Amino acid sequence: MSWRLECGLCERPVARGLATVCPDPDCSKPLLARYDLGALDGEALRRAWTGRQGGMWRFREIMPVEPSEDPVTLGEGGTPLLEIEIGGEFEGLTLMVKDEGLNPTGSFKDRGLCAAVTRAVHEGATDLVIPSAGNAGAALAAYAARAGVPSRLFIPEDTPEGVARRCEHYGADIVRVDGLIDECGRLSAEYGAETGAFNISTLKEPYRIEGKKTMMLEIVEALGWRAPDAIVYPTGGGTGLIGSAKTLAELRELGLVDGDTRLYAVQGTGCAPIVRAHAAGETYAEPWRNASTEAWGLRVPGALGDFLMLEAIRESGGGGVAVSDEAMKDGALELGAAGVGASIEGGATLAGARELRRAGELRDGETVVLFNTAHLLTY
């Protein structure tokens, strides 16, 4: 089916094409894709999705692709939902990990960039640019190569050499930047304005959310079309957190799930703008000064979709928690002992869940899903 776009804040309708953000200069907030869900039969969709081969494009009826279009794909999605036994504070919970490290380039970024590149090339983009702390850059480089279009990546100067080499493997043009992801974002925008390259920065276009939302679709399906009680999500730009809330709302409207899932954002103690804003009851998050964490995916001082994240957390009855780098690394090792090749960001979710359990946020008998957003080898 087709879809429309509207601003996530002012709800202004926006033409599709090579869409970016709300065109109202007093707004300029992220756009969201909306589907005519009332015209769909939820039960028929569920049967169709279940009968198709794995991968995220089997949900295409609520994805940004026309029936006549083929996605730019490398076989992303269909990652396992693993039940793990950690013990200790987690006794009494059903603790599960959505292991996104098994995507084609090793992270959940493949889902978002696959959808964004698919839409961009179908709308006529011939050159792509992105700011990245690492995994998003590798994903864009791979999907741009698959689509046959050039890509340029702006990455922080201290990005690990192995990450940069992965991006170069796919033929991307890499520019190292003396600064964090926000400075990379500024330079990406300038490059796009100067050259006409389409900027696929987080929430500067509307479709990375649509790819990321398929993680929650797969979780609900794996649980027998039951929403988990809580998810614990490592939060930088927050696209997957926003996408999770969007998925649950769409599935409820389709009559495929009921009940709520509490959404919890985990950030580093050295960069926790969303956690701080949530605790203060703020609608927007002030940028974090002098951001510092070894979890590059969480080192996002200011996010364009801050208000969407905070709204999703509050409406779900969830919350936020900040954990130290050492706790993240310990968490990754604990997940490793359970057989999960967790990145430091994945480890952050276990560390965050431990704090939430101690605080009484995660309760006996609940199903709690942690997101391992990348494989340890991506570092």
Per DSSP (E only), the strands in 286-379 are 319-323, 367-372
Shared domain check, 270 and 220: yes
Shared domain check, 162 and 141: yes
Confidence of residue 328 (pLDDT cuts 50, 70, 90): very high
Could you tell me if residue 75 is inside a domain?
no
Given 164, 199, 234, the domain boundary residue is 199
pLDDT value at position 258? 87
Q: Give how far the C-alpha of residue 78 lies from the chain's centroid of Cα atoms, to the nearest Å.
A: 15
Shared domain check, 92 and 213: yes
pLDDT tens per residue, range 261-300: 999 999 999 999 999 999 999 999 999 999 999 998 898 9
Shared domain check, 234 and 300: yes
Considering the chain, what percentage of its residues have pLDDT values greater than 90? 89
User: Average pLDDT of 235-243?
Assistant: 95
pLDDT tens per residue, range 134-150: 899 999 999 999 999 99
Shared domain check, 147 and 15: no
Could you tell me if residue 8 is inside a domain?
yes
Neighbours of 148 (CB within 10 A): 9
Shared domain check, 282 and 234: yes
What pTM was computed for the model?
A: 0.95
Could you tell me if residue 123 is inside a domain?
yes
Could you tell me if residue 52 is inside a domain?
yes
Question: pLDDT at residue 61 above 80?
Answer: yes
What would the DSSP string read from start to end of 14-40? E--SS--B-S-TTT-PBEEEEE-GGGS
Kind and range of the H or E run holding 302: none
pLDDT value at position 87? 87
Could you tell me if residue 152 is inside a domain?
yes
Shared domain check, 286 and 189: no
Distance CA 275, CA 267 (A): 7
Range of the domain at 28: 3-61
Shared domain check, 164 and 88: no
Residues pairing with 177 in the sheet: 156
Could you tell me if residue 265 is inside a domain?
yes
Distance CA 103, CA 80 (A): 10
Please tell me the least confidently modeled range out of 160-169, 307-316, 364-373. 160-169
What total of structural domains would you count in the chain?
Answer: 3
What would the DSSP string read from start to end of 205-241? SSSHHHHHTHHHHHHHHHTTS---SEEEEE-SS-HHH
Shared domain check, 306 and 225: yes
Question: pLDDT at residue 372 above 80?
Answer: yes
Question: pLDDT at residue 1 above 70?
Answer: no
pLDDT tens per residue, range 190-229: 999 999 999 999 999 999 999 999 999 999 999 999 999 9
Could you tell me if residue 343 is inside a domain?
yes
Could you tell me if residue 150 is inside a domain?
yes
- The CATH number of the domain where 328 resides is what? 3.40.50.1100
Shared domain check, 165 and 297: no
Shared domain check, 192 and 228: no
Shared domain check, 370 and 289: yes
Given 153, 171, 199, the domain boundary residue is 199
pLDDT tens per residue, range 75-126: 999 999 999 999 899 999 999 999 999 999 999 999 999 999 999 999 999 9
